[in-house]
Chain A
Amino acid sequence: MMLWESFDKNEIYTLILLLGGYAAVFISPKKLPLPITVLFLTWGLATAMLVDFTIGGGMMDFYKINDANGYEFADFLTYLQFPIFSYFFIYFYEVLNINKKRFIFYVIGWVIISLSMEKLSVFMGVIHYQHGYNMYFSLLVILSVQTTLALYYELIKKKMINRMP
């Protein structure tokens, strides 16, 4: 595994996003219990890798991350961005007290944020679409991933409330 093919704007963009994102995670007021925070940081990393190594590589290979089709260290750094998003997705879900009525608007709001970030990543040379892939496919992926995340959080919240005496 190489570090990166060439250190330029995509790597700089990733590093700035990581530094800013994790600083925000650490300084934001703690609203979630530590195990839940760790769980959703792990969730973000696992989801990013699952999606990328399934549709972004192998037989489908719909997009390239950073400079090469192979696995660079810069790719790993790119995956580390996603825990920040899953953490803040759950963080604001709690802060904004999202319920059944607001659920759809909340997910749509995050889909818009995610698609905008993806557009920026394409512009910065982090993501390169190939083999006919475009942003409309990303809409399907992001919508599914974020709905699953929200539904899973609702499920564990319900389980935790039921376990309380």
Chain B
Amino acid sequence: MEIAVFFFLSWLAISLFTAINKDLSIVTNTFIFLIILIVSINFSWIINDELNLITLREEWTPYTAYLLNRSILIPILVLLQVNLFIKTHSYIKKGIILVSSIIILLMISFISTQLNIIEFKEWSLWLEAIYLICLNLIGLISYTLFNKIKGVQESK
């Protein structure tokens, strides 16, 4: 059940990402994906294994679902948010896209707790929301940073 849900969600996110018209190049998209992947992996490891704020169910199917969420679903959804955010020029739409992304990611965390993939010990959806806001902002900062690097190259 857990794998089926997270496999489907990952497939859906990848399909949506593939289907949208992207203004960003494959190189920029890859860079943002890798940065979010690095943050997602490190953050989940620190709060699960080092600080024990969240516990994981030590069985193969929920653990695989957790890996799918950490390494594919979260980075792709943040990447989708960055692409849609950049595409629109309206500040209201940008705000809606950012808030929607955070709500969707929070819903996924909620599903993870409902399926007993993870259990919040000294963690809550509010703290998760703060982390997800930061993650989405890191996605946007990565985009700005990479553009600056491209600017440095072009000015040479």
Contacts and interface: CB of A to CB of B under 8 A. Distances in A.
Given A58-B63, A59-B63, A38 B31 contact: yes
A34 B26 contact: no
A117 interface: no
A54 B149 contact: no
Contacts of A159: 25-26
Contacts of B50: 1, 70-71
Interface residues of B, number: 27
B27 A39 contact: yes
Decide if the interface of chain B is mainly helix, strand, loop or mixed: helix
Interface residues of A, number: 24
A54 B42 CA distance: 11
B57 to A, nearest CB: 10
Contact of A36 (B27, B34, B37, B67): B27
Contact of A54 (B30, B58, B71, B152): B71
Contacts of B38: 42, 45-46, 49
A57 B38 CA distance: 15
Interface string B38-62: 1001100110011000001010100
Query: 10 closest pairs, A vs B, by CB?
Result: A46-B34, A34-B153, A42-B34, A53-B41, A59-B63, A35-B150, A46-B37, A49-B41, A46-B38, A35-B149
Interface of B: 25-27, 30-31, 34-35, 37-38, 41-42, 45-46, 49-50, 56, 58, 60, 63, 67, 71, 146, 149-150, 152-153, 156
